[in-house]
């Protein structure tokens, strides 16, 4: 068990099992050792390590996965005792990210994280090769020179991937800046919470959604038409996980940052999971590392259709009394999400009355999609509208020919 993990061993192992299955492993068994600090040499104590070797032999396992980070030394020592390859949590997650990466940016981000993970472990790989060839260790052996060659190769590749990534990121920044000034809602949350499913349900994004961890590794933004015609942008992105390898958090920073350019966060959590409260806390931690913890947010508890007793949601409502329970699958609660977003818009935007002269009639369609129209009347001078919009949109409308209407204090609400 990793130290400082608030979960029980069973909870931590059930997540590790899910990760392993996502990477197409078939788990044969689990083992837990309760220790205050991991053994520096073999992570587990000597007795437990021997027990593990026995279990691996009996189950004919091809690999051992540890739920914590292992030092290259610990990995080598465990491998020597159990006789099969050993993987730590970071390596497993990197492998999953590697198979799920589809866009060039995601592929490069995973490659960068993997190269950085690999760097301190080069020596271990070479010791293995020398042993297989019957060598006598790496001190002064062929491996020693090869490690230097490999290290230089890795450094060159890291620099080249970094340059490629910078180019893509600059291109993306320009694309985000060129985006129409629409209110943006970002979907964030623990992996497998249902973010892509919600995105698909609300827009026709056609994003891959499946019962696997880290199905989505890049950011996608689609227009979402709210009831009444107002359009906002909805952004889906990579899911969070407790203790993500730091190399991955660093590599995916740009992807997450793009999503966190949002005006409002929808924090999604799988309400049917027994670990929903811990997952919400983990999401908070990632958001605060990304300095996005002060963005306005709505908490959405998903998969209500799988919750047999709603009383089990009580701890989540204690964390956020305004959390909205929904089922993306059958649509329950989604109208409440929309109303909450509209209420949020009403609270943060300006409400103004303006006259759209006939000469500026072309702005009418823009107002309908980018602002909320509260009322409109046609008069001799043009269309008199009461709208709610952001200062940026209002500025654009004024520049396009719309005029603010100043009413005398006792004027009737509506024109005759």
Ligand X SMILES: Nc1nc2c(ncn2[C@@H]2O[C@H](COP(=O)(O)OP(=O)(O)OP(=O)(O)O)[C@@H](O)[C@H]2O)c(=O)[nH]1
Residues within the interface to ligand X (CB under 6 A): 191-197, 209-211, 213-216, 239, 302-303, 305-306, 327-329
Distance CA 398, CA 210 (A): 46
Shortest distance (Å) from residue 374 CB to Mg ion: 35
Q: Which stretch binds Mg ion (CB under 5 A): 69-77, 143-151, 188-196, 291-299?
A: 188-196
Shortest distance (Å) from residue 196 CB to ligand X: 3
Q: Minimal CA–CA distance to 191: which of 214, 211, 175, 173?
A: 214
- The total of other beta-carbon atoms located within 10 Å of residue 96's CB is 23
- The total of other beta-carbon atoms located within 10 Å of residue 33's CB is 16
**195/297 with CB nearer Mg ion:** 195
Q: Which does 211 bind (CB under 5 to 8 A by kind): ligand X, Mg ion, none?
A: ligand X
Shortest distance (Å) from residue 197 CB to ligand X: 3
Q: Which does 214 bind (CB under 5 to 8 A by kind): ligand X, Mg ion, none?
A: ligand X
Q: Which does 332 bind (CB under 5 to 8 A by kind): Mg ion, ligand X, none?
A: none
**74/221 with CB nearer ligand X:** 221
Cβ–Cβ < 8 Å for 181, 392: yes
Return the structure tokens found at 108.
């490069």
Cβ–Cβ < 8 Å for 267, 283: yes
Shortest distance (Å) from residue 103 CB to Mg ion: 13
Cβ–Cβ < 8 Å for 231, 154: no
Shortest distance (Å) from residue 31 CB to ligand X: 27
The torsion angle over the Cα atoms of residues 116, 118, 123 and 124, rounded to 10 degrees, is 150
Return the structure tokens found at 309.
């007793």
Q: Which does 305 bind (CB under 5 to 8 A by kind): ligand X, Mg ion, none?
A: ligand X
Return the structure tokens found at 205.
């994004």
Contact between 215 and Mg ion per CB under 5 A: yes
**195/242 with CB nearer ligand X:** 195
Q: Minimal CA–CA distance to 218: which of 236, 200, 191, 232?
A: 236
**52/213 with CB nearer ligand X:** 213
Among 196, 200, 219, 302, binds Mg ion (CB under 5 A): 196
Contact between 191 and Mg ion per CB under 5 A: no
Q: Which stretch binds Mg ion (CB under 5 A): 48-56, 80-88, 209-217, 271-279?
A: 209-217
Contact between 22 and Mg ion per CB under 5 A: no
**220/243 with CB nearer Mg ion:** 220
Cβ–Cβ < 8 Å for 12, 1: yes
Q: Which does 235 bind (CB under 5 to 8 A by kind): Mg ion, ligand X, none?
A: none
Return the structure tokens found at 152.
């230089």
- Residue 187: which H helix or E strand, with range? strand 184-189
Phi, psi of 240 (to 5 degrees): -95, 165
**327/388 with CB nearer ligand X:** 327
Q: Which does 150 bind (CB under 5 to 8 A by kind): ligand X, Mg ion, none?
A: none
Return the structure tokens found at 101.
């990466």
Q: Which does 61 bind (CB under 5 to 8 A by kind): ligand X, Mg ion, none?
A: none
Q: Which does 303 bind (CB under 5 to 8 A by kind): ligand X, Mg ion, none?
A: ligand X
Task: State the DSSP code for 373.
Answer: E
Shortest distance (Å) from residue 211 CB to ligand X: 3
Shortest distance (Å) from residue 198 CB to ligand X: 7
- The total of other beta-carbon atoms located within 10 Å of residue 156's CB is 10
Angle at 95 between CA 153 and CA 154, to 5 degrees: 5
* Residues at the site binding Mg ion, with contacts judged by CB under 5 A: 195-196, 215-216
């Amino acid at each position: 068990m990793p130290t400082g993990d608030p979960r029980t061993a069973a909870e931590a192992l059930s997540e590790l099992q899910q990760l392993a299955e996502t990477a197409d492993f078939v788990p044969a068994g689990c083992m837990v050792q309760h220790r205050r600090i991991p053994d520096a040499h073999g992570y587990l104590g000597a007795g437990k390590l021997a027990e593990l070797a026995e279990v691996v032999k009996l189950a004919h396992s091809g690999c051992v996965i540890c739920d914590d980070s292992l030092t290259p030394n610990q990995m080598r020592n465990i491998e020597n005792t159990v006789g099969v390859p050993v993987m730590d949590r970071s390596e497993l997650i990197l492998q999953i990210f590697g198979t799920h990466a589809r866009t060039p940016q995601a592929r490069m981000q995973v490659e960068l994280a993997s190269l950085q993970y690999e760097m301190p472990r080069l020596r271990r790989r070479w010791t293995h090769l020398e042993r297989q060839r019957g060598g006598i260790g790496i001190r002064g052996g062929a491996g020693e020179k090869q490690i230097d060659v490999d290290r230089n190769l890795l450094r060159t590749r890291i620099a080249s991937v970094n340059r490629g990534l910078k180019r893509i990121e600059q291109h993306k920044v320009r694309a985000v800046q060129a985006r129409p000034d629409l209110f943006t809602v970002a979907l964030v949350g623990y992996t497998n919470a249902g973010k892509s499913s919600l995105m698909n349900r609300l827009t026709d994004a056609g994003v891959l959604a499946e019962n696997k961890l880290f199905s989505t590794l890049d950011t996608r933004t689609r227009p979402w038409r709210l009831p009444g015609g107002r359009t906002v942008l909805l952004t889906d992105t990579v899911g969070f996980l407790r203790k993500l390898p730091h190399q991955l958090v660093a590599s995916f920073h740009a992807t997450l940052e793009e999503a966190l350019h949002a005006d409002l966060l929808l924090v999604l959590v799988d309400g049917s999971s027994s670990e929903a409260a811990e997952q919400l806390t983990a999401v908070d931690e990632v958001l605060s590392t990304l300095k996005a913890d002060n963005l306005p947010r709505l908490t959405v508890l998903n998969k209500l259709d799988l919750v047999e007793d709603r009383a089990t949601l009580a701890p989540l409502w204690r964390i956020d009394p305004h959390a909205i329970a929904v089922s993306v699958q059958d649509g329950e609660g989604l109208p409440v999400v929309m109303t909450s977003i509209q209420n949020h818009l009403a609270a943060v935007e300006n409400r103004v009355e303006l006259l759209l002269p006939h000469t500026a009639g072309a702005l009418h369609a823009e107002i309908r999609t980018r602002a909320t129209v509260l009322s409109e009347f046609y008069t001799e001078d043009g269309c008199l509208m009461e709208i709610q919009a952001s200062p940026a949109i209002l500025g654009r409308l004024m520049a396009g020919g719309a005029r603010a209407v100043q009413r005398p204090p006792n004027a009737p609400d509506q024109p005759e």
